Amino acid sequence: MAIDMRKLEEAVALFLSTKAEAVFDLESAAQSVAELMGMKRGPNKDLRKELEQILSQDHCAFFDPKNNTYGTRKAFFKGAQIRIIPTHFELKERILLPGHRFASFCHSEIVHSEITLESEGAALPMRRIKLPLEEAVAYYNLLGAEQMFEFFMTEAQENVLVMSKGLLDAPICLDVFDMKDFYASHKIKEGDSLLMSVLDWERGVFSCSKCEQPHSTEEAKSWVGRLEDALDQVCENFDNYLEIPEQLAYAFFVDKTGLLHNPAGSLDEFQNFSTRIEISLQGGRTVLAPKGEISSDAGELEIPEGIALSKGKSSPQEILKELGSPLLELEIRAFILDELFQGGSYEGFYDRCFGETKPAFVDDFQEAILLNWLEDLWELAAENYSREEDEAKGPLRAEILELVDERLLWFRDLQKGSQQVRDEFSVRFEELARIAMQLNTILDLLNSREQHLSPQDTETILETVEKAAEKQRALIDAINLALSQS
């Protein structure tokens, strides 16, 4: 007897909406669906075959081919927790941009600006702001380029003109959460986290509270590492078939380590700390893929005409690597604090990091991303800097940065074929890297306002820096000598 497909699809929808567990297998689903369809003899082979096809394509369900299990998104994400760390800009403007932050945790038909955020049972209001296109991208790029630009153009009619002319510094209109009262009543300050809990996946409803769990960079990096593990599995299971929000949703589904329970990290930190996964152009779409993976079918990215999109890397750390800069974010933050300690300027800080020669950016869009990031770091540090509090740490930081300066200048003077040089002297370069890591551990301590030094700490750091200086200069001299003789 042929299966009534309309009746089957209705039964599947009812099963996923009301009866399915967060994770289930095909047989348990078949039994429930057969009951809903009134099949007294239970599920047959034809029903199982059609059901398997429907579940693997239904946007309300998950399918894990590795474990041959399924899940209903409504049940799986119920109560899931998401950490969000408001940016300096968001705190200053007393807003929260929905961005890509909620897209993986609600039905795909929910428009990002139609998310409902509740606090103590009441929906938080929304308001419209204007933000330069190039700055908005950072909040939405995990939607994927296609979804992001399509969203911008449908969010407001004014946005179409801005993007059709490729005006990166022109403002676009965005609907955002008005957090004025929430931030004030919960005394939200720089570095604090918000904890979002999924109340209704189907309708895109979330609760918002202040996260009381202390934020730790190391724990956030560990969280990002576990998310990378899950994304590796998703990439293996689905190749480049899924869009980025779907890849992330599936990653949380296949993860077995509790990424969505008291999360130590956020999606924004995933972009900053990820070392194994990057946004990549594959099959004509932007997807998450293992870093360095070369697609045989990159294709042409189809976006609305006139929109500027960088052809190079688009996250600050990736841009630095593409420019050939060995600098890490904590070193950049240290240079900012040192410049402030010396009474210097943003220009002086920038020249120390990149020299007087303009970096070879791939395009204007990539340059804007990095410069905006650097300016935000400077502005944030300058607003909170106290030279009196930094009196003990400043001289120590300056000594370490002298060594970083030496290393940077030396790297800039290397021949263009520096990769060949690095291959030839790989052991010595590894020793230089170890010294840099040792110094960066100390810089991390000196950058933190929460860490205080005892006289013994100061003495120990000075001894460590002196030994590191001797080793670094000896290694650089040895490599220079070998190069001069080759």
Residue 188 sits in a domain whose CATH number is 2.40.330.10
Residues of the chain short of pLDDT 50, as ranges, are 298-301, 304-306, 308, 415-417
Structure confidence at residue 232 (pLDDT): 95
Same domain, 28 and 97: no
Q: Decide if 254 contacts 234 (C-beta within 8 A).
A: yes
Same domain, 275 and 379: no
Same domain, 260 and 169: yes
Extract the tokens encoding 189: 């300050």
Question: pTM of the full predicted structure?
Answer: 0.62
Same domain, 252 and 394: no
**Maximal CA-CA distance, the chain:** 87
Same domain, 302 and 342: no
Same domain, 40 and 180: no
Q: How far is CA 364 from CA 44, 165, 303, 461, 477, in A?
A: 60, 14, 18, 41, 37
Give, for 446, the enclosing helix (H) or strand (E): helix 426-447
Give the residue carrying structure tokens 């998104």.
73
- Burial status of residue 437 (CB atoms within 10 A of its CB: 0-12, 13-18, 19 or more): exposed
Please give the residue range of the domain that contains residue 182: 78-309
Which of 23, 54, 71 finishes a domain? 71
Number of other CB atoms surrounding residue 164 within 10 Å: 13
Q: Decide if 264 contacts 83 (C-beta within 8 A).
A: yes
Structure confidence at residue 428 (pLDDT): 75
Structure confidence at residue 115 (pLDDT): 93
Q: Decide if 377 contacts 336 (C-beta within 8 A).
A: yes
Overall domain count for the chain: 3
Laid out side by side, the sheet with 122-123 consists of 81-84, 194-200, 205-210, 116-119, 122-123
Q: Decide if 141 contacts 147 (C-beta within 8 A).
A: no
The per-residue DSSP string of 195-227 comes to EEEEEETTTTEEEEEE--SPP-HHHHHHHHHHH
Which of 17, 36, 71 finishes a domain? 71
> Residue 73, SS3?
helix
Q: Residue 61: beta bridge partners?
A: 72
Same domain, 97 and 202: yes
Extract the tokens encoding 307: 């929109």
Structure confidence at residue 377 (pLDDT): 87
Q: Decide if 194 contacts 90 (C-beta within 8 A).
A: no
Structure confidence at residue 367 (pLDDT): 77
Structure confidence at residue 417 (pLDDT): 47
Same domain, 231 and 124: yes
Same domain, 296 and 343: no
Structure confidence at residue 407 (pLDDT): 82
Which of 280, 309, 338 finishes a domain? 309
Residues present in the chain in total? 486
Structure confidence at residue 20 (pLDDT): 67
Buried b (16+ CB within 10 A) or exposed e, 341-373: beeeebeebbebbbeeeebebeeebbbbbbebb
Same domain, 102 and 212: yes
Same domain, 176 and 325: no
Which amino acid makes up residue 36?
L
Same domain, 134 and 199: yes
User: Rounded CA gap, 474 and 431, in Å?
Assistant: 11
